Amino acid sequence: MDFKVAVIPGDYIGPEIVEQAQKVLDHVGKKFGHSFNYVEVDMGGVSIDKHGVPLTDEALETAKSSDAVLMGSIGGRVGVDSWYQLPPHLRPEAGLLAIRKGLGLYANLRPAYLYKELNGACPLKESVAEAGFDMIIVRELTGGLYFGERKTEEIDGVMTAIDTLKYTEDEIRRIAIKGFEIAMKRRKHVISVDKANVLDSSRLWRKIVEEVAKDYPEVTLEHMLVDNCAMQLVKDPAQFDVVITENMFGDILSDEASMITGSIGMLSSASLGAGKFGLYEPSHGSAPDIAGQNKANPIATILSAAMMLRYSFDLDKEADAIEAAVQKVLEDNIRTIDIMSEGMQLVGCKEMGDCICDRI
Q: Which residues participate in catalysis according to the annotation?
A: 146, 195, 227, 251, 255
Kindly tell me the sign of the dihedral angle through the C-alpha atoms of 360, 290, 265, 273.
Answer: negative
From 126-134, 193-201, 286-294, 350-358, span contacting ligand NAD (CB under 6 A): 286-294
Does 95 bind ligand NAD (CB under 6 A)? Our answer is no
Instruction: Please identify which residue in 42, 67, 140, 281 interacts with ligand NAD, judged by CB under 6 A.
Output: 281
Of 306, 227, 241, the residue nearest 269 (C-alpha) = 306
Give me the phi and psi of 3, to 5 degrees please. -130, 140
Does 290 bind ligand NAD (CB under 6 A)? Our answer is yes
Residue number with CB closer to ligand NAD (110 or 195): 110
CA angle 302, 186, 102 (to 5 degrees): 55
296 vs 18: CA distance, rounded Å: 11
From 110-118, 239-247, 280-288, 305-313, span contacting ligand NAD (CB under 6 A): 280-288
Question: One-letter amino acid identity for 103?
Answer: L
Does 262 bind ligand NAD (CB under 6 A)? Our answer is no
Does 99 bind ligand NAD (CB under 6 A)? Our answer is no
Residue number with CB closer to ligand NAD (228 or 341): 341
Q: How far is CA 227 from CA 145, 230, 318, 357, in A?
A: 17, 5, 37, 42
From 72-80, 216-224, 305-313, 327-335, span contacting ligand NAD (CB under 6 A): 72-80
Question: One-letter amino acid identity for 232?
Answer: Q
Instruction: Please identify which residue in 74, 176, 319, 329 interacts with ligand NAD, judged by CB under 6 A.
Output: 74
258 vs 271: CA distance, rounded Å: 16
Does 279 bind ligand NAD (CB under 6 A)? Our answer is no
9 vs 23: CA distance, rounded Å: 13
Subset of 320-359 contacting ligand NAD (CB under 6 A): 338
Helical (H) or strand (E) element with 8: strand 2-10
Q: Give contact residues for ligand NAD (rule: CB under 6 A).
A: 73-76, 93, 96, 264-265, 281, 284-290, 296-297, 300, 338
